[in-house]
Amino acid sequence: MHLQMGRQNKKMPLEVSVRLRYLHQDQRIKVSELVKRYPKYSKSNIYIHAKLPDEARKIDCRTFNKGRPKLLTIRDERKIIRTLLLLRETLGSFSIKKLKVESGVDVNISDNTVRRVLNRYGYKYLQSRKKGLLSKKDARNRLLFARKVKRLHAKDIWINGIGFYFDGASWTHKTYPYDQARSTTTMAWRRKSKGSCLKCTTKGKKEGSGGKMVKVFVAIAHSHGAVMCEQYKEKLTGEFFAKFIKEHFQNAFGKDNSPTGKLFLQDGDPSQNSHKAKSAMLDIGAQLFAIPPRSPDINPIENFFHLIKKN
């Protein structure tokens, strides 16, 4: 009983297996006797190896088994990585299905197979990094701004003092909306150490799949709605924005809450706050109501755009 409890179902070495076959099949020694001679192994294990024919010696193939053959070759995997980098530059956000189609691999291969390839090359589906965190200096500037507005009678400033709130917006016509719906713009396929590279940040993403990008400047005034909505195609530079101010701001000021005043609010875009742009503001008598950096929540037009995108 003690020997039976101490027996273990260990892996049978080749020399022991051959010895068991020899003793049982050639020397005619019973299995019960072999069990006593080899107390390390279980009775069932000894029985199996003692009864094996010489020509049917089974080799344990588990150490040589590499699993089922790969569905994707090394060449396919390299195509997927090259296509991923290309789509990230052109589309920004995309689905695994889009990646398979553009890379030319078999579309019947499951999405999980492609994900495993990307993970093996170091690419993870990670949250896109946001632009700039609020520093202590930024928080101090926000507090000073709030005190300044309070001294200026905040309600009157926001409703009647500021003529209009100005910002730019853009979007792209989507030829295949379902594909884009499957991939969120706040996530990106990237390596952990490449969070700040091109197309890996959420701030400033204006891309979509297919079609032509539409870019407009919009200005809204309290109780008047949109007083300006002008499409532009040029690259946003200080020189272009200065020209835009001279051509369109006078008309917008004529439609806002206080036609006699020329106070407006915009964000801290470098092109919109360049030396040339500020010179153009002085030429038409416009005055900028500056807000602290990294404070989009202070600009009401951002909330207006959020409601439109949400709906």
DSSP per residue, 174-235: -S-HHHHHTS-TTEEEE-GGGTTSTT-BSTT----SSS-EEEEEEEEETTTEEEEEEE--S-
Q: Which residue has the higher pLDDT, 7 or 200?
A: 200
The pLDDT tens digits for 127-139 are 776 656 677 888 8
DSSP state of 157: I
3-state secondary structure of 163: coil
d(CA 233, CA 213): 9
pLDDT above 50: residue 2:
no
Is residue 87 within 8 Å of 94, Cβ to Cβ?
yes
d(CA 144, CA 151): 11
DSSP state of 12: P
Domain boundaries, the chain: 2-63, 153-173+212-310
The pLDDT tens digits for 85-123 are 888 877 777 889 889 999 999 888 999 999 999 999 999
Which amino acid, residue 32?
S
Is residue 118 within 8 Å of 84, Cβ to Cβ?
yes
* C-alpha dist (Å) from residue 203 to 142, 219, 294: 21, 21, 11
d(CA 301, CA 259): 20
Beta-ladder partners of 226 = 220
C-alpha angle with apex 160: 157 to 164, nearest 5 degrees? Answer: 90
Is residue 56 within 8 Å of 17, Cβ to Cβ?
no
Task: Please state the CATH superfamily assignment of the domain spanning residues 153-173+212-310 in this structure.
Answer: Ribonuclease H-like superfamily/Ribonuclease H (3.30.420.10)
- Determine the pLDDT at residue 166: 92
- Determine the pLDDT at residue 160: 80
Task: Give the H/E segment covering residue 181.
Answer: helix 177-181
d(CA 282, CA 104): 56
Beta-ladder partners of 201 = 129
Mean pLDDT of the chain: 80
The pLDDT tens digits for 147-189 are 888 887 666 788 888 889 999 887 765 555 555 555 555 677 7
The pLDDT tens digits for 35-59 are 999 988 988 889 988 888 765 555 6
